Amino acid sequence: MGGGLAGFTAYATLRHGGLTPAEIAVFGTDPDPAAQWRGRARAIRQRRMRSESDGHCAPRSFPGLAFRTARRRKTPVPLALSLLDLYLPTVDEFLGHVGDLRTRSGWDESFHRLCINRIRAVDGGFELDGKGPFRHVLVATGHPGLNVPEELAGDPRAVHAYERHEYAPEVEIVGAGMAAATEWLNALAAGSTVVSVRRREPERRPLNLPRHLFTRRGLASFHRTGENERNELLRRYSTPSYPAGREWDEPVETAVREGRFKVSATLNGAAQVICATGFRRGYREDPLLAALADEHGLDTAASWIALAPDSTVADLTDAHRTLALAGVAGQWAFPAADTLMGAKYAARAFLRRVTACRSR
């Protein structure tokens, strides 16, 4: 369930694991798996990915996007950069990869344009709006919606960073993460004066989360935490961040010297306010997941549905059926679940369950 990048990654993984398009049903609202992501990237004029060479949708980490680029350009430079964790694919390179994989995998043969509103556990699996039952279901419904601060809801000056927009002569940009930093540079390049509205300083790190959380050892340590500690860790990991580097710092430093960039804790009445405030958070913000939790009495923890380490809903998963959550809803199992690496983590675990059940 879900036709975005997390669902697409799961589909590619299942196909690599031997399932045919006829054995997989994908339910979504747009057959282009990159449609929503493409629109958001275009809105903030994103040119490069924050992920590295293995930030792609293919089931195997190698060959990654650096290898793909090196082969096309006939140069080893991308591979050398990748060894140093310095290779950042362009948005066009990533979208080209998605298009190629979509064609090769048979995605369109399995795709059904349908928005599912209810999941119900039944004998033999799960019904999706009365369809099924399906023995194995992976839910990858994505972010539940754009987050706009309450005080700016309905304000005619305000636009979300992930909606199409231009830049006024004076712009206030609310937020301090990757989207906000990208918008600072966009607005400065457009000739605007920028006020960065933020309550705390962002962290500077290359990836969405600390790198150790993408390793087996780091993840094993995360899985050993109790409920309260894990809640606290997930809240801490949501701290805004963007990469370090001259390409981010020099334009801002120049603008500060010119009097075109400053930081403020409050709005100051500019003609345009850009909300680079990300997405609404928590399973309660997704009607389908909220209904799923309520109707089946699922174990929850603060904003998350509690999951087993393999991203499955333990209350509804057994030796004969599987319900798994991928994407941002899967952070209880993998804190970087809303990344492409996180999508692959859930997809690989889902494939293991599907193939194990098929052999019984």
> Is residue 223 one of the residues assigned to a domain?
no
Work out the average pLDDT over 186-210.
93
User: Over the chain, what is the mean pLDDT?
Assistant: 92
Bridge partners, residue 109, by sequence? none
Q: How many CB atoms lie within 10 A of CB 222?
A: 20
Statement to judge: residues 94 and 159 lie in one domain:
no
Q: Which of 86-100, 182-196, 205-219 has the highest mean pLDDT?
A: 182-196
**Tell me, what's the pLDDT at 28?**
96
> Is residue 130 one of the residues assigned to a domain?
yes
Statement to judge: residues 250 and 179 lie in one domain:
yes
> Is residue 226 one of the residues assigned to a domain?
no
Q: What domain range includes position 307?
A: 5-145+280-358
Work out the average pLDDT over 208-227.
90
Q: Coil, strand, or helix at residue 158?
A: strand
C-alpha to C-alpha distance for 10 and 343, rounded to whole angstroms? 7
Statement to judge: residues 36 and 125 lie in one domain:
yes
Statement to judge: residues 15 and 138 lie in one domain:
yes
Asked if pLDDT for residue 65 goes beyond 70, the answer is yes
**Tell me, what's the pLDDT at 359?**
55
- 39-63, pLDDT tens digit by residue? 999 999 999 887 777 778 888 877 7
Residue 301 region by backbone torsions, left for phi larger than 0, else alpha for psi between -120 and 50, else beta: beta
Work out the average pLDDT over 153-165.
95
> Is residue 353 one of the residues assigned to a domain?
yes
**Tell me, what's the pLDDT at 261?**
98
- 251-278, pLDDT tens digit by residue? 999 999 999 999 999 998 899 999 999 9
Statement to judge: residues 19 and 65 lie in one domain:
yes
Asked if pLDDT for residue 214 goes beyond 80, the answer is yes
> Is residue 220 one of the residues assigned to a domain?
no
**Which CATH number does the domain housing residue 90 bear?**
3.50.50
Statement to judge: residues 62 and 110 lie in one domain:
yes
Statement to judge: residues 140 and 154 lie in one domain:
no
C-alpha to C-alpha distance for 25 and 134, rounded to whole angstroms? 9
Q: Coil, strand, or helix at residue 190?
A: coil
- 92-133, pLDDT tens digit by residue? 999 999 999 999 999 999 999 999 999 999 998 999 998 989
Statement to judge: residues 19 and 46 lie in one domain:
yes
DSSP characters over 192-240:
-EEEEE-SSPPEE-SSSS-GGGGSHHHHHHHHTS-HHHHHHHHHHHTS-
Statement to judge: residues 11 and 140 lie in one domain:
yes
**Tell me, what's the pLDDT at 77?**
81
- 66-89, pLDDT tens digit by residue? 878 888 888 888 788 787 777 788
Statement to judge: residues 91 and 160 lie in one domain:
no
**Tell me, what's the pLDDT at 80?**
81
> Is residue 216 one of the residues assigned to a domain?
no
- 284-340, pLDDT tens digit by residue? 999 999 999 999 999 999 899 999 999 999 999 998 999 999 999 999 999 999 999
The two structure tokens encoding residue 319: 């030796």
DSSP characters over 170-181:
EEEEE--SHHHH
Statement to judge: residues 48 and 165 lie in one domain:
no
Q: E strands of 265-359, at which residues?
A: 272-275, 300-301, 304-305, 322-325
177 touches 189 (CB < 8 A): no
The two structure tokens encoding residue 250: 């020099």
Q: Which of 284, 354, 315 is nearest to 121 (CA)?
A: 315
261 touches 131 (CB < 8 A): no
pTM over 0.75: yes
Asked if pLDDT for residue 222 goes beyond 90, the answer is yes
> Is residue 10 one of the residues assigned to a domain?
yes
Which of 217, 252, 275 delimits the end of a domain? Answer: 275
Number of independent structural domains in the chain: 2
**Tell me, what's the pLDDT at 360?**
56
**Which CATH number does the domain housing residue 186 bear?**
3.50.50.60
